[in-house]
Amino acid sequence: MEPILQVKDLNYVYSAGTPFEHRALENVNFTLNRGEFVGIIGHTGSGKSTLMQQLNGLLKPTSGQVFLDGVDIWTDKKTTRQARFRVGLVFQYPEYQLFEETVYKDIAFGPQNMGLSQEEIHRRVLEAAGFVGITQRQLQASPFDLSGGQKRRVAIAGVIAMEPEVLILDEPTAGLDPIGRAEILGNIESYRKAKNATIMMVSHSMEDVARMTDRLLVLYGSHLAMDAPPAQVFARAQELVDMGLNIPQVTQIFLCLRELGLDVENVYTREQAVSLLRRMKEERVHA
Amino acid sequence: MKEEIISAEHLAFRYQGMDGAPDVTVFENLNLAIEEGSFTAVLGTNGCGKSTLAKHFNSILLPTGGKVYVCGLDTSDPDRLMAVRRNVGMVFQNPDNQIVANVVEEDVAFGPENLGIASPEIRRRVDVALKQVGMYEYREHAPHLLSGGQKQRIAIAGVIAMEPKCIVLDEPTAMLDPQGRRDVIDTVKRLNKEKGITVVLITHHMDEAAQADRVVVLDKGTVAADGTPREVFSQVKLLHDMGLAAPESVELCWAMDQLGYDLPLTMLEPKECAQVLYDWLKA
């Protein structure tokens, strides 16, 4: 695995030296690798959003460092600016940030700021629209005539068009219906696959992170409490609940099965559950 | 048969198209009645008309055809507007958009103040409301420093301080973490069971809907399914066709059924689902 983004001894304090001083991040260390899909879970106020903003230089660490390809993103102005293009952020409810007359212009806004040629901008807009399933006709429409789910996809396309090597999304599926959620998650996954991009997704949906991610970071009270594959994280059910989090419902079902006396392994997606149940049933029939 | 607190009769609603675009019809002829004291969840895809319907329940939107009655009052009668809003309180998705004061208890007092209630009575109502949502000890805190779930419970307290008969919540947990979601749903359930307040909960979370007495599914402006959570969620095929899903326990049994095993689709909770799977494995 090839590391791309490294966070070292990161600390961040809001309103330092005032009565409102608040330590938002304390001694956070982790590494993101190229092509990885990483989830972040944590209660409200655990430091998720603060952390996101450290990763592309929107916030400067109080102490500690963020390295992109081994170079500290605060080395000089040029490096910081580059980091903002190479690490793309999609905030919560990004559809509220749409502002252009047409969907095309909105998606083109980011690449334009990068000073690319017109042909390159055009290529990127079309490609980004393709990733999120926006049609040629919709490109010429006003973003405000689209449905909520479509608007959100346009907003994500605007960031994808900058072709970030690391794409960070804050709750990209909040407020969407099941189909809308599945579409957005599929769009993100297809971008990752096509570009070998690193994805970091903040989510309150344990089902979504269980299904999509290779690895989970758990933030609790400004600390990085866990950094492990979903199977290992969700095996610590009680700790997660105590942290104000949860485990996927299928995991709960299998924990109940264990309480009933069955010797079952830890399961965290529906697909795993189905194949395990099937195997157990077949073994019984043939026993 | 219990009394109806809200009823939509032949409800029609049309938005005007923007810039000369054609009008958008949300409802053509919707009929739905909510019983007093019930807990109803409303499900549907984005754009199916859930929020539009909710806004008809306290006269934020008025029908372009048909009628909506709240406690027997016609919501489109301007003279009844205050009475309608006093009976049906609303809680929206984003807690930050519905908190107006700098101190929790002042925020909760905002509604009753507008009703012109005497100060000692407001004091009493604010205290009662904050205790009911479990936020009494935060009464002197600044709302913006609270978590999303806490803010949402403050918003609910602000509504119940007006002592409505019914509260309508439009995706109140969409922006909350798991603990915040649990706290808000537990609060709503308690208000319903202990205080008899009628609850209409609009949600995309199937596990929340599973806790209601009744689930109504809207699809393209009509009622596509209506019944107890078990009745509605066992119609997995119908839900999938509409772009919805069932709670994970039901989805798991459905996936097994698709492989030719025969499992019931009525288990909404992990525990009961586990028991059924256990019996099935042992059989």
Q: In angstroms, rounded to a whole number, what is the distance separating the alpha carbons of residues A11 and A59?
A: 11
Hey, are the CB atoms on B259 and A178 less than 8 Å from each other? no
**What number of H helices and E strands is found in chain B?**
11, 10
Q: What is the mean pLDDT of residues B88-108?
A: 90
The A223-228 sheet, strands edge to edge: A87-90, A166-170, A198-202, A37-42, A215-220, A223-228
Place of tokens 């009008």: B23
Mutation for testing the B interface, residue in A203, A277, A278 having most B CBs under 10 Å: A277
- C-alpha distances (whole Å) from B231 to each of A82, A89, B30, B215, B269 are 55, 42, 21, 9, 14
User: Residue A107: is it exposed, middle or buried by C-beta count within 10 angstroms (0-12/13-18/19+)?
Assistant: buried
Nearest to A209 by CA among A36, A43, A39, A33: A39
Q: What is the pLDDT of residue B84?
A: 94
- Mean pLDDT within B25-36: 95
| B98: number of Cβ within 10 Å | 18
C-alpha distances out from residue A122 to A20, A88, B57, B104, Å? 47, 19, 47, 51
The answer to whether the beta carbons of residues A121 and A112 sit under 8 Å apart is: yes
Question: How far does the CA of residue A259 sit from the closest CA of chain B (Å)?
Answer: 10
Q: State residue A96's pLDDT score.
A: 84
pLDDT at A95: 86
Q: Which long-range contacts (CB under 8 A, 24 or more apart) does A149-153 make?
A: A149/A176, A149/A177, A149/A180, A149/A183, A149/A184, A149/B46, A151/A95, A151/A98, A152/A93, A152/A94, A152/A95, A152/A176, A152/A180, A152/A184, A153/A183, A153/A184, A153/A187
Two tokens at A72?
């500290």
Q: What is the pLDDT of residue B32?
A: 97
Nearest to B77 by CA among B89, B96, B97, B63: B63
Tens digit of pLDDT for each residue in A103-119? 999 999 999 999 999 99
pLDDT at B99: 87
- What are the pLDDT digits (tens) for B109-142? 999 998 889 999 999 999 999 998 999 999 999 9
Helix (H) and strand (E) counts for chain A?
Answer: 12, 10
Alpha-carbon gap: B190 to the closest alpha carbon of chain A (Å)? 20
HSE-CB at B148 with a 13 A cutoff on CA atoms is 21
pLDDT of residue B121: 95
Sheet holding A71-72, edge to edge: A22-33, A3-14, A63-68, A71-72
Quote the ipTM score. 0.86
At residue B283 the predicted structure's pLDDT band, cuts being 50, 70 and 90, is confident
Q: Which residue has the higher pLDDT, B239 or B146?
A: B239
Q: From CA A259, how far away is CA B113, in angstroms rounded?
A: 52
Determine the residue of chain A that is closest to B243 in CA distance: A179
The predicted model gives B54-73 an average pLDDT of 95
Which of B152, B179, B211, B282 best probes binding to A when mutated, by most A CB atoms within 10 angstroms?
A: B179
Confirm if A181 and A148 have CB atoms less than 8 A apart: no
Confidence bin at B46 (pLDDT 50/70/90) = confident
Whether A218 contacts chain B with CB within 8 A: no
Predicted confidence band of residue B21 (pLDDT cuts 50, 70, 90): confident
What ranges in chain B are assigned the alpha helix state H?
50-56, 81-87, 104-114, 119-132, 148-160, 178-195, 206-209, 229-233, 236-241, 248-258, 270-282
Distance in angstroms (rounded) separating the CA atoms of residues A229 and A210: 9
- Average pLDDT of span B81-108: 90
| Minimum mean pLDDT range among A159-173, A198-212, B168-182, B194-208 | B168-182
pLDDT attached to residue B19: 67
Strand (E) or helix (H) holding A170: strand A166-170
Give the residue carrying structure tokens 């079952």: A264
> Residue B106 and residue B91: Cα distance in Å, rounded?
17
Tokens of B273: 């689902």
Whether B235 and B197 have beta carbons less than 8 Å apart is answered as no
Sign of CA dihedral B243, B246, B250, B251: positive
- Answer whether A175's CB lies under 8 Å from A93's CB: yes
Q: Do A244 and B181 touch (CB under 8 A)?
A: no
Cβ-based contacts of B21 with chain A (< 8 Å): 145
Which chain B residues are closer than 8 Å to A256 by Cβ? 270-271, 273-275
Which pLDDT score is estimated for A283?
Answer: 87
Check pLDDT > 70 for residue B1.
no
Q: Do B251 and A270 touch (CB under 8 A)?
A: yes
Q: Does A286 touch chain B (CB under 8 A)?
A: no
